[in-house]
Structure 1
Amino acid sequence: MPPPHSRAIFAREGSSTDEFLELISNPFSSAIQSDAFLASLGTSLGITFFVAIVFCLLRPYNTVVYAPRLKHADEKHAPPPLGKGVFAWVKPVVQTKEDILVEKIGLDATIFLRFTKMCRNLFLVLSIVGCGILIPVNVVGGKQFTSGHNDISTFMRMTPQFMWGEIYWALVICAYLFDIILCYFLWSNYRAITRLRRIYFDSQDYQSSLHSRTLIVTDIPRDFRTDEGIVKLTEEVRSTESIPRAAIGRNAKELPELVKEHEDAVKQLEKYLAKYLRNPDKLPIKRPTCKPSNKDRTHRGDQEVDAIDYLTDRIRELEIQIKDVRESIDKRNAMPYGFASFENISDAHTVAYSARKVHPHGSTIRLAPKPNDIIWDNLPLSKKRRKWKKISNNLWVALLTFFWIAPNALIAVFLTNLTNLGRVWHGFNVELQANPKSWAVVQGILSPAITSLVYYFLPIIFRRLSMRAGDFTKTSRERHVVHKLYAFFVFNNLIVFSLFAALWAFISTVIDLHDEGHIDVWQAMKEGDIYNKVMIALCNVSPFWITWLLQRNLGAAVDLSQIFNLAWGSFARKFTHPTPREMIEWTAPPPFDYASYYNYFLFYSTVALCFATLQPLVLPVTAFYFALDTWLKKYLLLYVFITKTESGGQFWRVLYNRFIFAAILANVIVALLVKAKGNSWKMLGCLVPLPILMLGFKWYCATTFDDAIHFYTKGPLKDPESRTLPEHKERRGDRVGVRFGNPVLYRKLMVPMVHEKAKHVLHQVYRGRLEDQSDVAAMTAYSDTFSLDNMSPNHPGKKAPSSSPFELVSEGQMDFEHHKDRPEFREEFGGEGEMYGRPLDMIRPGTPGSFTTLDRGRSSSQDSDRTRFDQETYVDGTNYPAGYHQTSAAYRHHSPSRHNYNSGYGGMTRGNSYMNGSETNLLGGAAPMGSENMPGRNQASPYGYAGTGTAGTPLSEDELGYDYFRTGRR
C-alpha cells in the first residue's frame, strides 16, 4: 500500500511548522514525478543533440578551442588529422585504437578511456539482467497491493516497496548476479591494465628516462644526510652490483616564497600595463595605482603608490634577493630527502621492492616520481609534521561534510519536490496548482541543475585542502582528492540526501510513541519500524536520481562543445584587457581534471549500483550516459585536453577500491529491503557472504596483479646488460642533483610581457628609465630580454637600439606554439613537455656531439622527444647548477660563435616559422661562455636556449648557471 505520512511532532495541526516537519518526514512523494522525468528526458536529449550539432558546425573553424593538441603536439604525439567536414571528427575517434592511444595521449588518459568503456559495458549488461528480471518481478509481485490505486505512479510500481514475502528471493539472486558481473569486469580490466603497465615499462620512453631507475629516499636521519649516506641506506636494504649515484637535497631557504612573490608581481604588473596601454596612442591621464605588498618592508601603511613604478622596483628587489639566496646555497645545509640513481632499471626496482616494509634508520625508500610531479615544499616535512597535516586536513574535510548536512537536507526536501515548497508557502502553492505542467518541467531541470552547480566548486576546495596535507607528489594529491570527494559525495549526496527523510520519520514516530503510549524509548524504536521507513524513503527518492543522471548527458555534451571556453575567450578579448601572457595561455591545450571526472564517474556508478534493485530504470540511464561519454571524452582527450602530470596509470587502484565499496554498499541496501519486507532470516544469511566474497576478490587481485603493475622487476634480471648501455655512455648524463633538484634553485625567472604595439610609448610610461643601464642590469640580472644590449638583425654582433626592460610580444607571437618550451608555460600546459618533444627526464646515450633535441617544430623521427648527451661535456660526480653547486669548467671552453643555427640544426620546421628577422644570426661574434660581457647575451637562440655544446648542439637550462640563463632568453 502507499506509504503513510508520519505524524507531526507538534500538535498545532495546520501550522507551517507541522507541514514542514511532515515534509521532512516524507518529501519525495509527488504527483508530478512522471512529468518531471519526461521533462528531464526531453530537455536532456534535446539540448544534448542541439549542442552536438553546434559543435560539429563550429569545430572546423575554431581549432584553437576544439583541436589545440593537433596544432602543438610533435609528430609522435599528434592525434590523427581532422578534415573540414561537419562529421569528419567521428571517423578518427572511432578508428583510433588503444595501442595508438597510449602513444598519442599517454597511459593516464588511455586508462581513463578504458575505465569509461568498462562502465559503459558493465551497465549495459546490468541493464539487461536487472530490467529483465526486476521490473517484471516488482510489477507483478506488487500488483495485489497497487491494483485499484490509480494515484500510484508508474515509477513507484517498478519499485519493490509493494511486495512481500518469498518473492524477495529475486532480489537476493540479482545481488549475486550483479556482484559476479562486476567482478568479471573489474578482473578483466585489472588484467588489461597490468598488460598496459608492462608495455609502459618496456617502452623506449620509460627505458630512457632517469626517474625509472631512480629512488627517492625520505625521512633521512641527520647522520646520513650526505650523498654517501644515501648510498649506505640503499645498500642496507639490498646489495646490488651497481652503486647508485646519489644527491642529497639542499635547503632552498626562502626561495619558494620569493619566486612565488616574484611571479605574482610580474603578472600583476602585466595586468596594469595591459589596461593602461590598451590604446597606446591615447594614454589615460591618470596612471594606475596600487597598495604596496604586505611583505614589502620598504613601504608601510595603506597609502597607494604608482602601480607601474612600484611593481617594477619590487620585481628588481625580489630578483636581487633571489640571486643572493641562490648564491648562498651550498652542500652543508642538507635536507632529510635525496635521490639515488642506479645504472639500470632492474637494480632500482629490486631495491624499491625490497624496501616496501623496510625502513633503514627510519628512512623510507621508494621509486622516484618524475621531477615535475614532485611537490618540493612537502619533501622536507618530518613524519610528525606530515601526520599532523593529514589529521588537520581530514578534520577540515569532516567539518565541511558535517555542516553540509543541513543545507543538503533542505535541498532534498524542497528542490527535489516543489509540491513540498507549496505546502509551506501558500502563494507558491496557488501558482503550482494553476500551472502543474510548467512547474513539473522546472522540477525536472532546476533541482538536478542546482545540485550539480553547488558541487562544481567542491573539487576546488578539496584540492586546496589536499595541497596542505603533506603529499609528496601531485599524482598522490590528486588520488587523495578523488578519495575525499567520493567520500563526501557518497555520504552527503547519497546517504544523507536519500535517507534523511527516513531517519526523520523514524525519530518523529519514536517520539510520538513514547509521548502518547508512555512506553520506553527502546520499545518505541522497535515499533518505529526503521527498516520499512528506509525502504520507502529509498524508493521515493529513486525518480530524482534518474532525472539527475539524465542531466549528466547534457553535461557531457557541454564538455564536448567547450562552450564556456569559447564564450569566455571571445568575451575577454573584446570587453576586458587581457595580458599577452593570458592570451598565450588561452591558446594552450587545457589540462584534464582527472580527479573531478573520476569522482563523478564513480559517484554515478555508485548511485546506479545502489538503486539498481530499487529502481531498475537507473541502470539503462547510466549505461546511456557512459555510452555517450565514451566517445565524447575520447575526442576531448585526443584533440583538446592534455595530461598535466603523467603518472603512468596510477589511478586504477583508487577506482577499483571504490567499485568494491559501491558493490558492498549495494549489498547492504538489498539486505535492508529483505529485512523490511522479505521477513526471512534465510535470505539475510544468503546475503552475508557477499561482502566477504568482495573483500576476498579484492585481496586476490591485489596479490595477483599489484607487483607487476608497480615494479618492473622484483629481482635482478638474468641479462641486465640487454636493458642498459655501458657505464661510460649512460651514467655520465645522469646529473641526479640537477634533474632532481628543486626548480627554484635554477629556473629562469619570469619576465613581464608587453604588447609590441606599445613600444613607442614606453618612454612615457617609464619616465626616463629606458636608458641602457648596464651597471644596474649586471647587478640585478633583471629584464631577461631587453635590459642588456640587443643584437641588430641586420648586423650580427652589433648593438641594436635599446627597447625596454620588458619582453615585447607581437600580435603574431601571442600563441602557445611560440612559447611551449618555456618553463612558466610548459609546467601548467604541458607537464614536463613530453607532448611537445622536450621531456626533461629523458636520457639517451648517443655519439659525441649529440645532445638535447630542442627543435621547436615536429621532427620526422619517432623518438624526437629523447635527450642526447655529449659525454665530453661531463665529468664524474654529481653536477649542480650555479648557486646550487659549482658549474663544471667543461662548459666554459665552447664558443657559440662557431656554429650556425640556421643551417646546422636540421633546418627550419613548422614550429620555427614564427621567428622574424630580429631573432636570427643571434650568436655571431658572441664571446666564449663564462665571459663577463657577451655581446647579444640578452637575446636567445632560435631554439629558446642561449648556450651551445660541442658540434653546435645547444645546452639545456639545467646545465647552465642561473645567471647565464637569466640573461639569455628571448
Structure 2
Amino acid sequence: MNLAALLTSAGINIAVCVILFSLYSVLRKQPCNVNVYFGRTVSITKRRSDPFCLERFVPSASWLVKAWRTREDDLLAVGGLDSVVFIRMVIFSLRIFSIAAVICVFIVLPVNYHGQTTNHPGIPEESLEVFTILNVQEGSKWLWTHCLALYIITASACILLYFEYKHITRLRLAYITGSSLSPSHFTLVVRAIPWSPEESYSDSVRKFFTKYHASSYLSHQMVYRVGKVQKLMSNAGRMCKILRDVSVEQTHTPDLFHCGMCGGATDSLKILATDSESVKGKSSLIDNSLGGRKKVCAAAFVFFKTRYAAVVTSKVLQSSNPMHWVTDMAPEPNDVYWSNLWIPYGQLWIRKIATLLATIAFMLVFLIPVTFVQGMTALKSLEKKFPALRGLLKKKFMSQVITGYLPSVVLILAFYVVPPVMMLFSTVEGWISRSQRKKSACFKVLYFTIWNVFFVNVFTGSVISQLSVFSSVKDIPGQLANAVPAQAKFFMTYVLSSGWASLACELMQIYPLLCNYIRRFILLKEGYNDTLSFPYHTEIPRVLLFGFIGFTCSILVPLILPFLLVYFVLAYFIYRNQILNVYIAEYESGGQFWPMIHNTVIISLLMMQIIALGVFGLRRTPIASGFTIPLLIFTLLFNEYCRQQFKPVFKNHVAEILIDMDQKDEQSGRMEEAYQQLHSAYCQAPITPDDSCSSGGSTRHEGDIVPDPENAKPPGEEPSQINPSWNVTFDGAESRKI
C-alpha cells in the first residue's frame, strides 16, 4: 500500500465526517429532534420549540464552543464522576500523543525516511514501509533517536499518569464525602442465607444479626422474586408519570368548533382522572398477580446504624462455612440489578467459569472475519482467490479503496456484535449492580478488541504468512518488531474508519434518529423518548485501543500519530457534548473505571518497550537494547508505586472518612433522616408497596406495606395475599390511594 491509497482512505473519511458534522449542526436545531439530541435536558425540564427561522437550517459550530467552555465541575454535576474519569482519559491521551507526535514526526520520521540510500520516486508514490523503522539500515547510529524518543514518551506518560491518578483519587474521596446521606453507605447485601424448615428467611436474618451484630444492626428488607410482574409495575409507573406530565401541560381551551381536533373544552384534570381509572384496574391485576407469584429469595438488604459498622461487617467472614451468609456493600439504589440478586450464590463460580470459556470460544470464532479482512489487504491474494475481480482491481482508484478502506470497514461492522455479546456474558456472570456489569463488559470488550485488532491482525497478516510460527519465546519481540511496521497500513486505515467515522456516527445518534423519524412520520406516534446512559463498555475500550496502537506504533510508524491526534481532539469535543446533552447518569461506579484505564496504559507502555527491544536487536544495536531494559524495570516499579499509593482508595472504604461522617450526622441529628430513607430506597419497583420490606424494629412510612415475617416462606411456598388497596407515592407527586 502506497501513500496515495492512505490519502484516498483519509479523504473518504474526512468527507464522511464533514457531511455528518454539518448534518448534526442542522438536525440538532429542529424541534422534532429534541428528544434525540437533548435527551438529558428533556428528561429534566420540558424544552419548548423554537419559532421557525432560517438559522435553523444553517450549519454552525455553537456546540463546539459550548463543549469547549464547559468546566469539569459542570461535567461532574451533570454526568457524575464516571463521566469525568472518561474525559480525563481522553485528555491524558491527547496530551501524551501531542508530545509523541512532536518528537516522532519531527525527529524519528525523517530518520526513517532517509534511512536507506536509495532514490525516492516521490512522496505520493512512496510505499508506507519507507516511513517505518524497517527502512533504517542495520547498525545505523541514527537508531539512537528512536531510543531517545522511547525514553521521552515513557517518562512523559508516567508523569501525566501519576497526576491523573492523584487527581481522580481526590475526586473519588470528594465523591464519597459528598454523598453523605447515601443509603448504600448503611446497607449490606446478604446472600446465601441458610434455609431452615422451622423459620422463614426473614426470621433467620433477624435472628442472626440480632445475635452477632446487636449493637449496630438496625433492620432488614428481604428480596422477592416477582418476575414479569415487576416489569408490569414499572410500565405502570412510567405511564402514570407521563399522565402527570400531560396534566401539567394541558390547558383549558375555549370551545371553538365541535370537533375532536380543535373543539370542545379540554380539562386536563378530567383526562387525568379518566386515565387514572384505567391505571386503577391494571394495578388491581398487578396486585393479584403479585400476591400469587412473588417468592422470597435467599438474599436481603441489611441496614446498620453507622457507615463504619456496615463496612466492617462487609469485610468479616460471617460463618465458618464461606458459602453461607455472604456479605457485600450494597450498590446505590438505582444501581441495583435485581434479576441477579435472585441467583443462588453457589452458582456464581460456575457461571464465571462458563462465561470465561464462552468468551474464549467467541474470540476463536472471531478469527474468521479477522483473517478475511487480512486477505483483503493483499492485492495479489485477492486476485488469486477472486479471479473475476482482476479487471476491477487493475483500476488504480478501486484497488486503493478495496485494499485501503474496505478491510477496516468490514472489521468495524463485525465488531458491532461484540459489545452486546459481552454484556450478555457479564449479565450471566451474576453481578448484582449495573455498574459492575458494565465494568465487567468493558473489561471483556477491551481485551477482546486489543487481541483481535492488534495481535491477531499482526499474526495473520505477517507472522503466519512469512514465518509460520515462533521458533521460541525469546523470538517474540523480534517477530513483533518485523510484523507491526508491516501492518502499518491497516492500523492507519483502522484509525481513520473506526476512529473518525465512529465519532461522527456517535455525534449523529443514527439509530435513535431513525427510530424518531419512523415513529413520528410512519407510525404517527410520539417521537423517540428512551433515555440513554453512557455506553462506557463500548467507548472506553475504543479509546484505550487507539492508545494501545499509538504507543506500540509511535517510534515504529510515526506517520500514524497525526491521525490519532485528530481522533483524540474530536473525541474531546464530541464526548463532552454527548455527556452534556444526550446521556443521563442513572447510576455510577464512583470512578471505578480508572484503575482499569491505568493498567491498560501500563500494558501499552510495556508492549511498546518490548517491541522496541526486538527492533534494536534486529537492527544490531545492542547498546540501545541494553538501555531499553532499565526502562521496562522503571515502568513496572512505577506501576507498583501507583498500586500501593492510590488503588486502595478504589478497592476499600476509608475508615477515617466514614467515622467523621457518622459523628457529624449524629451531632447534627441527620442520622434519623438517613434511617428513614433506607427502606423506601431499596424498593423493587417504582409502583409497589414495600412488599419486600421485612424489617426488624424499623419505622413504617406512608406508602410502605410491611408483610408479616411469618408469611415469608422459603422458595416454593406462597406468601399470603396482600391487601389490594395500596398507598402509592409517584415520582414528584403526592401520595394517593388506588
Shorter-chain TM-score above 0.5: yes
Determine the C-alpha separation between the residues in 2 that align with 1:423 and 1:148.
29
Give runs of aligned pairs for residues 943-954 of structure 1, distance below 5 A.
Answer: 944-947=733-736
Determine the C-alpha separation between the residues in 2 that align with 1:876 and 1:359.
24
Task: Say yes or no: does 1:452 pair with 2:412.
Answer: yes
Correspondence for 2:71: 97
Determine the C-alpha separation between the residues in 2 that align with 1:529 and 1:700.
31
Q: Structure 1 residues 221 and 166 mapped into 2: Cα distance closer, same or farther (>3 Å)?
A: farther
3-state DSSP of counterpart to 1:116: helix
Q: Structure 1 residues 567 and 428 mapped into 2: Cα distance closer, same or farther (>3 Å)?
A: same
Correspondent of 2:43 among 57, 61, 72: 72
Task: Say yes or no: does 1:57 pair with 2:4.
Answer: no
Correspondence for 1:950: none
Determine the C-alpha separation between the residues in 1 that align with 2:731 and 2:135.
76
Q: Structure 1 residues 429 and 655 mapped into 2: Cα distance closer, same or farther (>3 Å)?
A: same
Task: Say yes or no: does 1:372 pair with 2:334.
Answer: yes
Contact 2:369 2:411 (C-alpha < 8 Å) held by counterparts: no
Determine the C-alpha separation between the residues in 2 that align with 1:151 and 1:537.
24
Correspondence for 2:642: 701
Correspondence for 1:726: 669
Contact 1:735 1:878 (C-alpha < 8 Å) held by counterparts: no
Determine the C-alpha separation between the residues in 1 that align with 2:557 and 2:220.
59
Determine the C-alpha separation between the residues in 1 that align with 2:396 and 2:121.
24
Correspondence for 1:156: 129
Correspondence for 1:111: 85
Task: Tell which deviates more after alignment, 158-167 or 595-604.
Answer: 158-167
Task: Say yes or no: does 1:656 pair with 2:598.
Answer: yes
3-state DSSP of counterpart to 1:616: coil
Q: Structure 1 residues 731 and 501 mapped into 2: Cα distance closer, same or farther (>3 Å)?
A: closer
Task: Say yes or no: does 1:121 pair with 2:95.
Answer: yes
Determine the C-alpha separation between the residues in 2 that align with 1:431 and 1:463.
41
Q: Structure 1 residues 542 and 233 mapped into 2: Cα distance closer, same or farther (>3 Å)?
A: farther
Correspondence for 2:247: none
Contact 2:287 2:724 (C-alpha < 8 Å) held by counterparts: no
Correspondent of 2:514 among 555, 567, 576: 567
Give runs of aligned pairs for residues 35-50 of structure 1, distance below 5 A.
Answer: 35-50=4-19
Task: Say yes or no: does 1:227 pair with 2:206.
Answer: yes
Task: Say yes or no: does 1:535 pair with 2:468.
Answer: no
Contact 1:161 1:539 (C-alpha < 8 Å) held by counterparts: yes
3-state DSSP of counterpart to 2:300: strand
Q: Structure 1 residues 87 and 314 mapped into 2: Cα distance closer, same or farther (>3 Å)?
A: closer
Encode CA deviations 1:645-684: one digit per residue, 9 max, x unaligned.
222222111211111122222222222222322352x444
Correspondence for 1:171: 146
Q: Structure 1 residues 604 and 234 mapped into 2: Cα distance closer, same or farther (>3 Å)?
A: farther
Correspondence for 2:549: 607
3-state DSSP of counterpart to 2:619: helix
Shift of 1:883: 7.0
Contact 2:6 2:493 (C-alpha < 8 Å) held by counterparts: yes
3-state DSSP of counterpart to 2:219: strand
Contact 2:479 2:614 (C-alpha < 8 Å) held by counterparts: no
Q: Specify the code of the residue in structure 2 equivalent to 1:198.
A: L
Shift of 1:506: 4.6
Correspondence for 2:266: none
Q: Structure 1 residues 629 and 412 mapped into 2: Cα distance closer, same or farther (>3 Å)?
A: same
Structure with the higher fraction of residues in helix conformation = 2
Determine the C-alpha separation between the residues in 1 that align with 2:237 and 2:312.
46
Correspondence for 2:434: 474
Encode CA deviations 1:72-95: one digit per residue, 9 max, x unaligned.
3269xxxxxxx9794433333222
3-state DSSP of counterpart to 2:62: coil
Determine the C-alpha separation between the residues in 2 that align with 1:933 and 1:492.
57
Task: Say yes or no: does 1:431 pair with 2:395.
Answer: no
Determine the C-alpha separation between the residues in 1 that align with 2:342 and 2:333.
15
Q: Specify the code of the residue in structure 2 equivalent to 1:36.
A: A
Encode CA deviations 1:61-108: one digit per residue, 9 max, x unaligned.
232222232233269xxxxxxx97944333332222001221122222
Determine the C-alpha separation between the residues in 1 that align with 2:655 and 2:676.
26
Determine the C-alpha separation between the residues in 1 that align with 2:592 and 2:467.
45
Contact 2:219 2:696 (C-alpha < 8 Å) held by counterparts: no
Shift of 1:345: 3.7
3-state DSSP of counterpart to 1:144: coil
Determine the C-alpha separation between the residues in 1 that align with 2:35 and 2:236.
29
Give runs of aligned pairs for residues 496-645 of structure 1, distance below 5 A.
Answer: 496-507=456-467, 525=471, 534-551=480-497, 552-575=499-522, 577=523, 583=526, 586-645=528-587
Shift of 1:259: 4.2
Contact 2:337 2:431 (C-alpha < 8 Å) held by counterparts: yes
Task: Tell which deviates more after alignment, 600-609 or 64-73.
Answer: 64-73
Encode CA deviations 1:1-55: one digit per residue, 9 max, x unaligned.
xxxxxxxxxxxxxxxxxxxxxxxxxxxxx4xx32221112112222212222222
Determine the C-alpha separation between the residues in 2 that align with 1:748 and 1:438.
65
Q: Structure 1 residues 487 and 99 mapped into 2: Cα distance closer, same or farther (>3 Å)?
A: same
Shift of 1:145: 5.8
Shift of 1:605: 0.9
Q: TM-score, normalised by structure 2?
A: 0.79
The structure whose RCO (Cα within 8 Å, separation 6+) is larger is: 2
Determine the C-alpha separation between the residues in 1 that align with 2:212 and 2:475.
62
Contact 1:667 1:687 (C-alpha < 8 Å) held by counterparts: yes
Q: Specify the code of the residue in structure 2 equivalent to 1:322.
A: L
Contact 2:373 2:410 (C-alpha < 8 Å) held by counterparts: no
Correspondence for 1:190: 165
Shift of 1:422: 1.9
Contact 2:4 2:125 (C-alpha < 8 Å) held by counterparts: no
Correspondence for 2:291: 323
Shift of 1:220: 4.8
Correspondence for 1:462: 422
Q: Specify the code of the residue in structure 1 equivalent to 2:574.
A: L
Gaps of 5+ in 2: 47-54, 197-202, 239-259, 261-280, 710-721
Encode CA deviations 1:441-468: one digit per residue, 9 max, x unaligned.
3443322222111101210111111110
Q: Specify the code of the residue in structure 1 equivalent to 2:98.
A: L
Contact 1:482 1:596 (C-alpha < 8 Å) held by counterparts: yes
The count of corresponding residues between Structure 1 and Structure 2 is 655
Identity of paired residues, percent?
Answer: 20
Q: Specify the code of the residue in structure 1 equivalent to 2:698.
A: G
Q: Specify the code of the residue in structure 2 equivalent to 1:202.
A: T
Task: Say yes or no: does 1:686 pair with 2:627.
Answer: yes
Q: Specify the code of the residue in structure 1 equivalent to 2:647.
A: D
Q: Specify the code of the residue in structure 2 equivalent to 1:541.
A: Q
Shift of 1:59: 1.9
Contact 1:225 1:334 (C-alpha < 8 Å) held by counterparts: no
Determine the C-alpha separation between the residues in 2 that align with 1:152 and 1:675.
30
Q: TM-score, normalised by structure 1?
A: 0.61
Contact 2:8 2:401 (C-alpha < 8 Å) held by counterparts: yes
Q: Structure 1 residues 726 and 883 mapped into 2: Cα distance closer, same or farther (>3 Å)?
A: closer
Shift of 1:263: 8.3
Gaps of 5+ in 1: 1-29, 76-82, 236-241, 268-280, 282-312, 511-521, 750-873, 888-929, 948-963
Q: Structure 1 residues 322 and 543 mapped into 2: Cα distance closer, same or farther (>3 Å)?
A: same
Determine the C-alpha separation between the residues in 2 that align with 1:251 and 1:217.
13
Q: Specify the code of the residue in structure 2 equivalent to 1:182.
A: A
3-state DSSP of counterpart to 1:143: coil
3-state DSSP of counterpart to 1:487: helix
Task: Say yes or no: does 1:666 pair with 2:639.
Answer: no
Q: Structure 1 residues 43 and 748 mapped into 2: Cα distance closer, same or farther (>3 Å)?
A: farther
Q: Specify the code of the residue in structure 2 equivalent to 1:445.
A: Y
Shift of 1:735: 3.9
Q: Structure 1 residues 146 and 185 mapped into 2: Cα distance closer, same or farther (>3 Å)?
A: farther
Q: Specify the code of the residue in structure 1 equivalent to 2:38.
A: A
Determine the C-alpha separation between the residues in 2 that align with 1:357 and 1:155.
60
* Root mean square deviation, CA, Å: 4.0
Determine the C-alpha separation between the residues in 1 that align with 2:332 and 2:398.
55
Encode CA deviations 1:513-563: one digit per residue, 9 max, x unaligned.
xxxxxxxxx9xx59x988766434322210221122122212212221224
